[in-house]
Structure 1
């Protein structure tokens, strides 16, 4: 589960967390795993056509402590979200044939840079960029579904079933049926939009499905619920 850290709240332990951390100030996301450290600067989240800067401090031998130690040395031990962002922003990456060339800083650590699209970048601290629906649209689209979720214009958001090739497991977990957190769903739709589709029936029931193996729904409420 993602962790949202508002301005002024204490910073979780950056070395031990396995969750994605979203920080309001500085506005960035941080994820630490066995492969290294990923940082995205989120000032342009949800902005169409805008560039989102993404950094990956890679552990070449699945030793994530090496990536943290590299950052710590560069920062003189002052490892905080804002200092990490400041350090990474000073780096220059040469453009290559297939993107930006990585930088080998040691035998164990390699730095990567890429650029994402603001439209496909989620931030819980930029939801105001998705404006509320003023009326029920004549043609319902995924953009409308995202706006409804971002502005609490829904009720009873739930998973109706997730299906895999392992029927016994699916049945054991009741096909993951049950309530769904709206920000978890919104993050999926924004960050991984491939395969998702939506529809709205005449009774205000919205279907949100990924292909035909992940079925979800909610009831549209024009007034924030």
Structure 2
């Protein structure tokens, strides 16, 4: 059975999804399988129902995906310096996986997107690490040996990759952001392969 890296994200306008796709590309360049998954919206309308399967895009995550993965990349747009509610809502349902240790000793990384340079990217990345640490995961950041981390004028952080969603096409990643996402995926996959989870 091949090792799977779960790339789990929530994306409202497409930027975080673009990051997830590039992280998955990096995972697959190492030879591991990237499993792209998303989460459904959260609604305050009690009577509102969503489709069990999204009409477009990646499938919704299920709790079994956490059990079966060898590593996890977790992504969300920045919402007031924190992860978006739909991703938090899913993570709040993972008590059984926490009790069983399903994610213990597996590597994990985080990624985010915001529409302003100082829009809380780093606090969002740090907040996303907290549930991973509670699950006993090993945090995999992005080292400064990746040259683009020194030169980027858009997104980028040693805590995890980020994207600055501005300009005429806010969902389009800069070349540096794409490279950093791919490098993050490669680093996560290499850690998973070495750990042999």
Higher share in helix? 2
TM-score computed with the length of structure 1 as normaliser: 0.24
> Higher relative contact order by CA 8 Å / sep ≥ 6: 1 or 2?
2
Greater Rg over alpha carbons, structure: 1
Higher share in strand? 1
